[in-house]
Every structure is written in structure tokens, then in C-alpha cells.
Amino acid sequence: EVNQIDFETVIRDKEFALANIRDLDFINLNKIGSFGVGGGGLAALIMQMRNFDIEAVAGLAGWNINRDQLEFVEQNPHFTFNRMDKPLLQVYYEDDRLFDLSLIDSIKYSNRYMLKLASAPAGGFTCYPAIQSYMDTTNVTKTISRPNYDLTGLYILNFFQASLTGDETGRSFIENVSSDKASFEFIKGMDLPPTPDQFVRIIRSQGGKKAVELYRKFEESDPGSITFQEAIINFFGYQALQQGQNDDAIALFKLNADTFPNSANCWDSYSDGLQAIGDNAGALECYRKVLEVLPVDTTAGDQLRETLKANAETGIERLSNESN
């Protein structure tokens, strides 16, 4: 039985080969793909998740879609499905009772090309179908057939040609395959959300308002895909406020308050932003919210809680008097 250590050895063997081809002059490092059969298909996929310059992955049957192997896959620390956005080809058999596409479905940022064969080629994807015509016919059973084997080979070649070079002939082949022995499905990947570090860079380069617009867009189509720390958003909110970029500041403070509604500090900061643009009524409501959530705020220490409480009480009194 294969364990994670055995499987890691397989991946490292592939990575050793990858490291060596990087030094070859005739290799285009911008057009590298990985491919495997059975457990090798999963190894090819995880290899891409560790080597982001691999631009396309193909797997034939095997562990990517085998119900009995899903737990093994999920336990692998390098299976980071939420960052995989390269084209993926998966070949599987309609008559395989163990196939389960939930793992493939989880790779939602990848364009997925699904080739379903009516049945497995005789001999599977071993070398036998490919070399049968070169063997002594007395040693080869007459039942071995090549149609599915040949179709799959052509499909894989055209998949890599289209994915790595942009070749439209290859793309037309894989998207319009016609055979009574196979069916094709294309699943378009979702846009890849920015990482926390990338989100910070977007705030720096495009401003808080644009960053929040991007967040709202992803939150609508892919909830929870963008994550950030409350303190970092608060920092950039005050930085924008100090630079007179009030719209950016308010957008960031509101994002924090919406995301961390039980944080009294978020509501306190949001109040500061609203006061900067003269929205005292909104600021007053934020101060009231500070007092409301303080009893359930588990992030604020005792000293901060006292400061926030005093600031909110003072602010409520001041803004109430100004409105009268």
C-alpha cells in the first residue's frame, strides 16, 4: 500500500527531472506541462501545485478521480486546490464504478477538459496497445484494440499543443471531439482571487476603494475567497485618512466593520472615517455599535476595551450635543 512518503518520492523524482530540463537550451521554460497515468496523474497535478511554472496538467484515470483515493489526496499537504488555475485534462472511463469527480470539481479556478471514454482500452494505458503491431502476433491476444488508446493519445497531444502554445487547431480538436466511444465536457474556471499579499498590493497601487470593489465582486461570485487581517485593513484605512483620501479610508473601514462585525475597534475606526467627511449621524451610530459589541468582542484586551468604551461614550455625548 502506497503511503505519503512513497508518494512524495514519486513527486520528487519528477521534480528532479524538471530541474534538469531547466538547464537544456532547447527547452522553452514558458511551455512546460506535466502528465501522468494512475497515481502519476495525481503526482503531475500536485507537482504543478508546487511548481507554478508548469502551465498545463493531464491525468489519465487513476487517483484524481478514484473514490477510494480521495482521502489519501486530501491528506497530502501539497494539495492546494485553491491556487491551481492552469488548464487540466482528465481522462476517465464511463464504466469505472469508482470514479468520483469531486476532487476535479474542487479545482474551480482551472479550465477543466473532461474526456470520458465509453470503456478503458484493452491493456489500459500500458504500452501494449501502442506496440502490439510490432510484436509477434502469436503472443498477442486478438481482443486488444486501439481506438480509445489512439483517441486519447491524440487528445492529450492537442491539449498540450493548445494549452502551451495557443494553437487554435489543437483547441478546435479538443473542443469538438466527435466519437461514439467518447464524450467531452469543458468546465470554465473561475477567476483566481488575489492572495492576502496580493490584496495588500492592490490597496497600495490602486487605492482602498478599488480594492474593496474587487473584494465585493469576488465575494458575490466566490464567497470567502479573499481573506485579510483586520489590523492590516485598519492600518491602510488610517493611512488613507491621513493622506486626505477619505473615500479610500471609508471604504476600507466599512469593509472591516462588515467583515468583523463583533470588533469594537472596527466600528470605532469607521466612526473616525465618517466624521472626516462630516457624516456625524453615521459616526454616532458607529459609536453606539462600539458599545453594543464590546461585551462579545473576544479580540480586544482589557486596556483597549476601556479606551474604546471611553471614546465611544465621549463621542456619543459630543455628537449628540452637536446635532441638537
Q: Could you identify the residue written with the cell 502551465? A: 55
pLDDT of residue 231: 96
The region, left, alpha or beta by phi > 0 then psi within -120 to 50, assigned to residue 38 is left
What average pLDDT score do residues 74-93 get? 88
In order of start, what are the domains of the chain with their CATH numbers?
4-187 (3.40.50.1820), 196-323 (1.25.40.10)
Tell me 121's DSSP state: P
Residue 142 has pLDDT above 50, yes or no: no
Categorize the per-residue pLDDT at 312 as very low, low, confident or very high, splitting at 50, 70 and 90.
very high
What average pLDDT score do residues 164-178 get? 88
Q: How far is CA 297 from CA 46, 66, 291, 308, in A?
A: 40, 45, 10, 11
Largest CA distance in the chain: 103
In a 10 Å sphere around its CB, with 0-12 CB exposed, 13-18 middle and 19+ buried, how is residue 324 labelled?
Answer: exposed
Q: Which candidate, 62, 56, 103, places its Cα nearest to that of 80?
A: 103
Q: What is the pLDDT of residues 225-279, one digit of tens each?
A: 999 999 999 999 999 999 999 999 999 999 999 999 999 999 999 999 999 999 9
pTM of the model: 0.81
Residue 133 has pLDDT above 70, yes or no: no
Higher pLDDT, 302 or 146: 302
What average pLDDT score do residues 64-91 get? 85
- Average pLDDT of the chain is 88
Indicate the range of 13-22, 96-105, 119-128 predicted with least confidence.
119-128
pLDDT of residue 122: 54
